[in-house]
Structure 1
């Protein structure tokens, strides 16, 4: 059994320092950096950003004496039922439960390719011609698993060109979707536009320009357009969420007055690049 967490559900660690950048309660309140330490250089190169690696599912968040369970109870439930946990990074014979660790900020098709490689290694370790697995996918992890089931580990451009297909050496017996937004979620647009704060008032705010670099969020935007937006009379307004012109017209993210004023005052961080580079990123994403 393979469990695939959703976006934000995997601990991220700084490769250089070994410090946990995401996945502990303290990461929800500090540092007061607007989340820049989590940004990806997908718009423009920025050597000042840390390189982060996925290490484990988030089991619990503890802050100010409060404890919030995340994936810990699921792990306890499954191991208590007799599953033997292993690590996909170094699988062993006889192990039957794996949590997939991936960089949830990145393109989910990259995550699908990573999972495919690790499942191939698991198949090799077991000495099987065809690996049979159950996939349990939570939230946006469902997008990753559905892509894997349909296209394998090929890049997105190859899948679009018809070169992707279900993996011949993988048999997905069950694909269990838990709390997945199969058609996308409009809430994601709000986070891309306004950012997010996980702890009210005092919490660390993930600025909208940082959220913009999380390519995975764009893959959870609604894929349908009818009735997403209405005008003052209640008539549907056709808005293409993936067109840079829509972001300019409606003032989303860095095109919004509030964010634009702050960037003008504080300076545009290197990872955001130029206005043209940001629009090009929106176009290709």
Structure 2
């Protein structure tokens, strides 16, 4: 029997094709062995995102965030910040950050289980590329992965000032005053990094009008060679709005932090979709004109602590606490006035913060993000008599051509849209906002789209590999 030449080549190629056993696995540790032996690793500062640092009472030692008990029990020190201060920086409690949230025990099903958070990405960098992690406030020769932590409830401006102190401490302890770093900003950590690059530890936000002139010192440029952001909401995220409005529970079985808790945190407002974006649509998917950054709309629409349900809870709390002849209406009105003042402070502060970091970064910047999960990009605002309902999940997601689905959902990681992670604003946004977003996107030296989900991003192998590849360039 004759075998045609083309068929012979095909048979030869198929016989040579590798058919690995299903248990065969080429690991990143093996793949990047040569890079791991290279001692020229550039030092990294890992800046975690929201919820990514443990909080405790420094005097009593009670852990308010980052322990199994804290996810279940009412604590002496809850996560609420005071809201009565004339300045946001005055609203302090007894809690402070003391370590990154590397892993934690949470309630799962019938018992508790350990979940790895930042331990996953730290272990990836140490085992694959040979980094040596430093978690504390003192640093030693040979360490080159410095893990920053901060109180993620407070303004990112305060975190940037602490980042400057962190950099100074590393250089002092290692006796390397000219050391430069790669900033690895995870989610909100990328916003802190961008502020630090432009303004260092200076506060150019607090107490200033939103439109007041900015004079960037670009102090952080002297400390940084490049910036890598992981799933950072450069143009904001509606997940922050949802949490401010509804509250937050870390797991379905954990206790829920009410809207007032999230409302008390200035950093939550700094994560809102940037001004200039139209984020509300009607039942047909058409844009609504309500501006999220107009404080009057929060009461008009019943957002967060101004919703009918939250107002009723306040009245009940006053009624249960004060059984004397005190004027309960006066107490209610005084508390609502405090909430209005706090809202106004937070919105102006957050808008100024976003303006302070707008535009292209000052160092080479890379972005890694998720792009395969439907992610909220607009909220449906439905009128119901004298009240308004916010719809955060479209009802008919299976209708590919449904205009509401098309308006509400975009590509992303389930929390941050692809657009926002790349610095881009929603189509139809204000021209100034669009221009600033395009400047950031065009300045990015590399972009990696992955299939990661935001709250499980460190489990995504493609994101891990993209980060390793980026760090070995």
Under a length normalisation based on structure 1, what TM-score does the superposition of the two structures give? 0.88
Alignment-derived partner of residue 2 in structure 1: 45
Q: Within 2, Cα distance between the matches of 1:88 and 1:16?
A: 18
Alignment-derived partner of residue 176 in structure 1: 228
3-state SS of 2:138 partner: coil
| Residues 1:186 and 2:275 are matched in the alignment | no
3-state SS of 2:46 partner: strand
| Residues 1:149 and 2:197 are matched in the alignment | yes
Where structure 1 has 5 or more consecutive residues not aligned to the other structure, the ranges are none
Tell me if structure 1 keeps the 8 A contact 2:67–2:104.
Answer: yes
Alignment-derived partner of residue 120 in structure 1: 168
| Residues 1:72 and 2:113 are matched in the alignment | no
3-state SS of 1:170 partner: helix
Tell me if structure 1 keeps the 8 A contact 2:77–2:95.
Answer: no
Deviation (angstroms), 1:78? 2.1
Deviation (angstroms), 1:170? 2.7
| Residues 1:242 and 2:303 are matched in the alignment | no
Tell me if structure 2 keeps the 8 A contact 1:88–1:119.
Answer: no
CA separation of 1:50 and 1:106: change in aligned 2, threshold 3 A: closer
> Number of residues paired by the alignment?
278
Alignment-derived partner of residue 260 in structure 1: 311
Counterpart mapping for 1:78-97 below 5 A: 78-80=125-127, 81-87=129-135, 89-97=137-145
Q: Within 1, Cα distance between the matches of 2:251 and 2:223?
A: 41
Tell me if structure 2 keeps the 8 A contact 1:43–1:273.
Answer: no
CA separation of 1:36 and 1:207: change in aligned 2, threshold 3 A: farther
Q: Which has the higher helix share?
A: 2
Q: Deviations over 1:138-165 (max 9, x none)?
A: 1111111111011111103389642432
RMSD: 2.6
**Correspondence for 1:281 among 315, 327, 342:** 342
Q: Deviations over 1:66-86 (max 9, x none)?
A: 222111122222222322222
Deviation (angstroms), 1:125? 3.1
Tell me if structure 1 keeps the 8 A contact 2:198–2:220.
Answer: no
Larger radius of gyration: 2
Deviation (angstroms), 1:215? 0.8
Q: Within 2, Cα distance between the matches of 1:267 and 1:156?
A: 38
Q: Within 2, Cα distance between the matches of 1:184 and 1:119?
A: 27
Alignment-derived partner of residue 162 in structure 1: 214
Where structure 2 has 5 or more consecutive residues not aligned to the other structure, the ranges are 1-43, 87-91, 322-330, 347-473
Under a length normalisation based on structure 2, what TM-score does the superposition of the two structures give? 0.54
**Correspondence for 2:68 among 25, 31, 49:** 25
Deviation (angstroms), 1:247? 0.4
CA separation of 1:142 and 1:43: change in aligned 2, threshold 3 A: farther
Deviation (angstroms), 1:264? 0.6
Deviation (angstroms), 1:38? 0.9
**Correspondence for 1:40 among 60, 78, 81:** 81
Q: Deviations over 1:186-241 (max 9, x none)?
A: 111111111112222x4211010111111111000000444411134543123322
Alignment-derived partner of residue 131 in structure 1: 179
**Correspondence for 1:58 among 101, 109, 117:** 101
3-state SS of 1:175 partner: strand
Alignment-derived partner of residue 41 in structure 2: none
